[in-house]
Structure 1
Amino acid sequence: MTIDAKKCEDEQIHLLGLIQPIGFLFILDRNQTILAHSDLPENADTEFLTRDILGKKFSDVVTNQWKTLNPELEEALSNMDIQNSLRLTEEVNLGDIPYYGSLYKIDDLFYLEFEIKSQTKFTQNLSFNSHLNTLSRSTDSLWDDVAKIIRQLMPFDRVMIYKFNEDSSGINVAESLADENLKSYLGYNYPEFDIPRQARELYTKNHLRFIADVNVEPHRMRSLNNQPYDLQQVAIRSLSPIHLQYLRNAEFKASLSISILVMGKLWGLVCCQHREPLCIDLQQRNLALTVTHYAAARYQQLLNEKQLQDVEESLQLESKIKESILLKNNVFQELKSFSFDLNEFMQSQGLAILQENEIHTFGKTPARLKITEFVNSLTKLNKEIYLSNHHHEHSIDGVQQSFQAFPGVAYLNIRGPQGFHIVWFRKEIETLKKWAGKPEKPYVFDDKAKANIPSPRTSFNLWMEEVKGTSVKWSYRESIFVERLRDLLQVTLLKKASEISHLNEQLIEMNNALDTYSYTISHDLKNPLSAIKLSGEFLRSKENIPDHLKQRMTSNILDGVETIVNMLDKIHEFSKSSVFKYEPELVRTDKFIDEIIVHSKDRFSGEKTNVVCGDLLPVYGEKTLIYQLFLNIIANAIKYSAKSKNPTVQIESYLENNGVMYIVKDNGIGIEKAELDSIYEIFKRMSNSVGFDGSGVGMAIVKRIVDKLEIKISIQSTVGIGTEIYLYFPNYDDNN
């Protein structure tokens, strides 16, 4: 059989140029030039000066009567440059016939659409608020209520709620019929090609589509140079010939569909069908559209509430598992004790937990060898999560052969040195699927094309399909649990795997800190301890000690204690800076430098010190460490310049080589060049620092911080003139 390659989904339905004969359409450019129009109505002579209007300016071809009858549209046309994307609709009259006139913009073109206004009065408009109240209270009966309300708003013979499946086929989930003699299609399925891809895409852009009479010849668009124009937003656009024939085959002469959009995606359609021609007024269609959008929002609300409940249920089991596995060294062994809970929550018939050569099974599962082969296949594909409820052509290799009786598979891979796999199984359930006609696309021979081309289906009678190789579908509740369980177990395993490494690192850091304490005790702390010892022995061995001497000895003891306390505090601070963990962030130094200046002046009697701050640019690093860095450097600058004749400290920064350079300059005592190389040694004090408070720890802390943050530091100093410290902060990007 020769089959034409053209498919239904290849038809450009938005460019067919067909308009229903219930109105007419103009397409204009910004200058009001008529680029295209449909056939004009017979009474057009009352409003238009001529029927030869292509290429002419709209305002030049309408009568003066148009301008007096339709001032709103006339004003909108005259301000087309500022017209936004909203649709302006006004009631207008052409002769004795009332129309809805609509003006809207698509890209750089303006569409002027006229649709005949219905003279039928609809009493349901008065009950509109009541309908919305009904929907606001609906839960399980939501779509049934929608079908009933839509049919009350618009007198169609059938209104059904059509829900799209994952494979783009559809199912009728709710229905309202005008009489009992009309055949019900509730629960029937429809194949994907009944609503082809480009039709589904169009429903996401134009949310309402209708045809008043499938047997009436549509009007054709006329355009300059036969240029086709996009009619996707045109309300009175006619349907494609294939779709019209589909409706005739279904024995309906009028149809209307409204998009049901949930979270911005096409969830389904409100499908309305009538056995006789039926033109629904624009206002009624808008009411039905509003009801549908309201129902979609209500459905999303119910869905969100259910998903929140699912997450809360998941959290309960997660917390139970987390509390247990965090206290155990072997996550895999501990998880086996939760087999019942995991199986029950996932509503599966069995599960398997695998680690290396060990397999633990619970409930009903395939053979262990088959499970191992399946896990190996998924491991090669680098899959972390895999969920399927039926065997199909895209199933993982070996699934159908390995799990013939278990088409429902949920797989979770926990990576890491002590990683493992969890697989849940659901047994096959054989079902009968109802179709509205056999789901096969028919073809007919086209004499013109000399080939077989797709044709609309002609039968919608019940056709039953026996469905095998399918299990109950994994729900959102179960899929979100698998994802959250993965995160929990993955983090736990990583934590367990890195605990030994982290412990070793911490031991090294602690040993370094202990070395620091040991060094202090064996060297620098000897002097204050000796002073305390001598003073104490003197007080104990002497009697009737004069008050002034007793006061002196007591002061020596207290001064020694204070020295030791201060030094230990500094050592502890230094130790913290060596093990501090950080994440680079943008730090605003101007937020704390002023504070450091004030505190340092108070501490080191620097009230007379003039501190001048220039630009203080933000830098990348860790906020606490950056604060500690500037605290030590600025404090030293203020301290060692406080006794100068005119103490001055300057702090400024500027951009340099995609980074920030900071300079802290003072006119203090300065540093001997020979001592600059040893300035970062802990407890190292400069030879000319006698008479200044300090313990020799500050610059050691500075060195540890700049090394950790990859900050470049350099020092220039002259004894008796002052010191300049340069700090270069690199800029972080995605590669750092």
Structure 2
Amino acid sequence: MSLVLKHSEISTQVVQSFGQIILSTLDGTIVAVSERVAANKLSDVIGTSLPDFLTSQFIHPTELLETIAAPDLIPASGKTLLVRDQSAPYYVHVHIWDDILHVKWERQTSNIIFTTEVSKFHSTLNGRSRSLWPLVTEALEQIIGYEQIVILQILDDKSSKIVSGPPPLLGKVFSKNFITEDTYAYMREREHIYLPDTARPTQVLYSAEAGIVPHADVMAPPRPPRFSKYVGAKSIIAIPIILNSELWGLVVAWHSTMREIDFQRRVVCQLLVQSAARSQENLIKEKQLEFYELIKRSERQLRAKLSDGYSLNFCLRQHMEPIRQLAKADGIAIYYRGLINGAGLHASEADTERIVRFLQSREKPLLKDNNFRLRHGHRFDTQLTFAGIAALQVAKEEDHYIIWFRKETVSSVIDVEETARKTQDGSDDDGYRFIEREIKDTALFWDDDDLSFIHSLDKMIREATIIRAKEHEHSKENLISANNELEMLTFTLSHDLKNPLSAIKLGIQVLQRKDSMPKEQQKQWFSAIEDGVHSMEQLINSTVELTRTHDYKYVKEPVATDDLIQKIFDKARSQFQNPRCTLRVGKLYPVCGEKGAVRQIFSNLVENAVKFSLREADPCVEIYSERKEGRIKYVIADNGIGIPKEEIMTIQNAFQRASNAKGFPGSGIGLALVTRITKRLGATMTLESSGNGTTVTLTFSDDCL
């Protein structure tokens, strides 16, 4: 097209392709026109009177002229009028932006108002038994008559997916560079994007000066729409779906031949989509309420278990399945100080250990990654059976994690590849082409609902931990009080028993020395002895009655033993002067018990192992643990003097020592004490000895792990 400009100051910029556009000052002087208005006659339009031009363009535009004559009365959203020229009616849109009057008009192609269709749509929407978006596409098909309509959802990583549409396109995923960020920004600012001719997506706006900036509503898209090229559309319309003030997706409709959509039809479609978006928001809120109720129910159950004295890890294990389901995961694992419990699809123990080390290196309490295998698979020796994970550090404990797993979802994605090739006729091919790539090692995204649940779980765990810490502090105070009472009781017994014992001892000595004592004096001394025995009996009975009134509840919790055992061994080696003694340690699982009780058990057993191996040339103590069938088994073996076979059954009695233990310090109450403590903890102890070394096996339940 040849263009003769008579004003050298004329500047150009691109605007949307459909309609005719004029910009004027508020007093009615035209300062810019689009090429559809007067591309070859700019000097006849720019700088002239807007009212005069409109009068020459339309038949009796009285209301239009009155509108532009009173710009202060034009609403901020603008005003739309209906006028006619010699051949057809036109919609004229008038609004003000930056003190510039914008006048845009387009031909009316339909005078039908779709009241019936709109009412039917709202009725179906309110009582629907089907999915929302297919209803939307059906309603829009009736209104605009385009061949294809799809719902395109924008995913977290800015890729997009067709969630409603015809089977050949349903489920198609487009890469994040298919619809660029500037295109998304352009769509957020508009109620719809309409291209009646995709081959000509823009037109030129000629301005009298460079400083004139038209309103965003008339600006052209930042780049030609790639989707229209992909589907072969000649005409296309896209309506943004806004949910909770965010761009959730797009309704996209297209036709294989050029076909205009009347302005009134476009507005009706836009209103229907907005109505559907509100319904979707309400549906999401309803689902969220149901979801949050499930979360609260699980929280209440979890809190109840914790208040009953169970450990945090035990409670999490008992609720693994709801914790997995609420995060919509395919599997779950709970890692606690080397203990791993899993359900559903989850990593092997070795891979879980590697995942935990990776999480610890990040120093962040929460991780979500739907491409974990793709990004980190090289860190593992074996092929991972899952693709995505989410992980939560429990109560900020370094060795306590909940890990959720999601399986791989193999799919394909439509991507855009830059190219500089020419088409067969020698024309440029827009500089890109479409390729479909298979996507592997990727799982479904962790969405807002998933993260909401994980954050809620984290908050509940932290609150429960604080409550548990307060309970432990209270229990500790009770134990201190009980210990003080025990010390006082011990002192009282040692003091109060001396008097009757002294009387008994003296009476016996006197009776032994004086064989010829008169019977009356003997009776007095026997009476004194009897009174002493009675006093002791009364004192003992009172003491027993007193101790029965104190029944303290010891809360089981996981007790780590690795550092504990090492400290006990080092102390015993020094105490019994056995510096040559070595310690071999295997896997040490945490033990379910009360910390003080567990310390007493291992102190007695490790000290015995070190003490009774003193005379060996290469004294050695070996300790390891195993986990099997809901039990934790500890083995403590030494190469010391051993226990005679015939004494194995009696050695656990109080004050009973082995016949070969002469020359070694001890009172004979250690094993008896261990036996009683293990029974209180619901554990068992067995002894084995062949005369050369002793093996002690402790078996604990894992009900708190």
TM-score range, shorter chain: 0.5 to 0.7
- 8 Å Cα contact 2:30-2:50 kept in structure 1: yes
Partner SS, residue 65 of structure 2: helix
Residue number in structure 2 paired with 1:353 = 334
| Structure 1 residues 268 and 400: CA distance shift in structure 2, 3 A | farther
Superposed displacement of residue 41, structure 1: 4.2
Q: Give me the whole-angstrom Cα distance separating, in 2, the residues matched to 1:220 and 1:407.
A: 50
RMSD of aligned alpha carbons: 3.9
Answer yes or no: is 1:443 the counterpart of 2:419: yes
Deviation at 1:90, TM superposition (A): 0.5
- For 2:179, give the aligned amino acid: I
2:484 alignment counterpart: none
Displacement, 1:442? 3.4
Q: Aligned-pair distance for 1:469? A: 1.7
**Alpha-carbon contact 2:195-2:201 (below 8 Å) kept:** no
Distance 1:96 1:334, change over 3 A: closer
Indicate the residue corresponding to 1:163 in structure 2. Answer: 153
**1:276 corresponding residue in structure 2:** 257
- What is the correspondence of 1:171-320 to structure 2 with a 5 Å cutoff? 171-175=161-165, 184-215=168-199, 219-227=203-211, 229-230=213-214, 232-234=216-218, 242-243=224-225, 247=228, 250-320=231-301
- 2-side partners of 1:139 and 1:273: how far apart? 28
Q: Which residue of 2 aligns with 1:485?
A: 457
Q: Name the amino acid aligned to 2:419.
A: Y
Q: Among residues 131, 136, 144, which one is paired with 2:126 in the alignment?
A: 136
CA shift digits 1:453-484 (9 cap, x unpaired)? 9624368xxx5x54432345545554332221
Say if 1:355 and 1:194 are closer, same or farther in 2 by CA, change over 3 A: closer
Matched-pair contact (CA < 8 Å) for 2:421–2:431: no
Retained in 2: the 8 A contact 1:250–1:458? no
Tell me, yes or no, if structure 1 residue 92 matches structure 2 residue 83: yes
Using a 3 Å threshold, how does the CA distance of structure 1 residues 122 and 441 change in structure 2: closer, same or farther? farther
Aligned counterparts of 1:493 and 1:251: Cα–Cα separation in 2: 60
Correspondence 1:111 to 2:102: yes
Per the normalisation by structure 1, the TM-score is 0.56
Alignment partners' CA distance in 2, 1:350 and 1:281: 52
Q: Summarize the alignment of residues 689-708 of structure 1 with structure 2, pairs less than 5 Å apart.
A: none
Is 410-419 or 315-324 further displaced after alignment?
410-419
TM-score by length of 2: 0.58
Residue of structure 2 in register with 1:54 after alignment: 46
How many residues end up aligned between the 2 structures?
465
1:69 to 2:69 alignment: no
2 CA distance for matches of 1:331 and 1:19?
A: 62
Give the AA of the match of 2:50: F
| SS of the residue 1:429 aligns to | coil
Deviates more, 1:320-329 or 1:339-348: 339-348
1:34 equivalent to 2:30? Answer yes
Conserved 8 A contact 1:26-1:111: yes
Paired residues of 1:256 and 1:272 also in contact (CA < 8 A): yes
Contact 1:43 1:95 in 2 (8 A): no
For residues 349 and 225 of structure 1, do their structure 2 counterparts lie closer, same or farther at Cα, with a shift above 3 Å needed? closer
Please point out which of 393, 396, 407 is paired with 1:413: 393
Residue aligned with 1:415, SS:
helix
**Unmatched 5+ residue regions in structure 2?**
1-11, 480-705
**Change in 2 beyond 3 A, CA 1:241/1:487:** closer
- Summarize the Cα distance change of 1:184–1:340 in structure 2 as closer, same or farther, 3 Å threshold: closer
Q: 1:399 to 1:28 in 2, by over 3 A?
A: farther
Query: Mind listing any 5+ residue stretches in structure 1 that lack a counterpart?
Result: 1-14, 177-182, 508-736
Alignment of 1:505-524 (within 5 A): none
Q: Give how far 1:38 is off.
A: 0.9
Q: Is the 8 A contact 1:142 1:295 kept in 2?
A: yes
Per-residue displacement from partner, 1:2-30 (whole Å, max 9, x unpaired)?
A: xxxxxxxxxxxxx951443x531122344
Structure 1 468/249 Cα, relative in aligned 2: closer, same or farther at 3 Å? closer
Shift of 1:220: 1.6
Distance in 2 (alpha carbons) for counterparts of 1:400 and 1:296: 44
* Residue in structure 1 matching 2:136, options 146, 158, 180: 146
Instruction: Name the SS for the 1:276 alignment partner.
Output: coil
* Distance change >3 Å, CA 241–CA 263, structure 1 → 2: closer
Partner of residue 78, structure 1: 69
Asked if the contact 2:336–2:400 (Cα under 8 Å) also holds between the matched residues in 1, the reply is: yes
Conserved? CA contact 1:16–1:240, under 8 Å: no
Change (3 A) 1:31 1:326: farther
Distance 1:218 1:419 in 2: 60
Partner of 1:706: none
Matched-pair contact (CA < 8 Å) for 2:377–2:384? no
The 10-residue stretch of structure 1 (473-482 or 319-328) with the greater mean CA deviation from structure 2:
473-482
The share of aligned pairs that are identical, in percent, is 19
1:424 and 1:146 map into 2 onto residues whose CA distance is: 36
Match of 1:25 among 1, 4, 21: 21
> Is the Cα–Cα contact under 8 Å of residues 159 and 272 in structure 1 kept in the other structure?
yes
Matches within 5 A, 1:672-687: none
Rg bigger for which structure?
Answer: 2
Supply the AA of the counterpart residue of 1:175. Answer: G
- Displacement of 1:91 in angstroms is 0.5
Alpha-carbon distance change, 500 to 55 in structure 1, aligned in 2, over 3 angstroms? farther
Seen in structure 2, the aligned counterparts of structure 1 residues 485 and 419 have a Cα distance that, compared at 3 Å, is farther
Q: CA deviation at 1:256?
A: 1.2
1:257–1:271 contact (8 Å) kept in structure 2: yes
402, 405, 408: which one aligns with 1:425: 405
Query: Which deviations, in whole Å up to 9, do the C-alpha atoms of 1:651-699 show, x marking residues without a partner?
Result: xxxxxxxxxxxxxxxxxxxxxxxxxxxxxxxxxxxxxxxxxxxxxxxxx
Cα distance, 1:473–1:403 mapped onto 2, change above 3 Å: farther
Q: Distance in 1 between the 2:343 and 2:234 partners?
A: 58
Q: Which moved more, 1:270-279 or 1:62-71?
A: 62-71
Indicate if the aligned counterparts of 1:311 and 1:477 stay in contact, CA closer than 8 A. Answer: no
Cα distance in 2 for residues equivalent to 1:413 and 1:288:
48
**Contact 2:387/2:408, CA 8 A, preserved across alignment:** no
Residues 67, 74 of structure 1: 8 Å contact kept: no
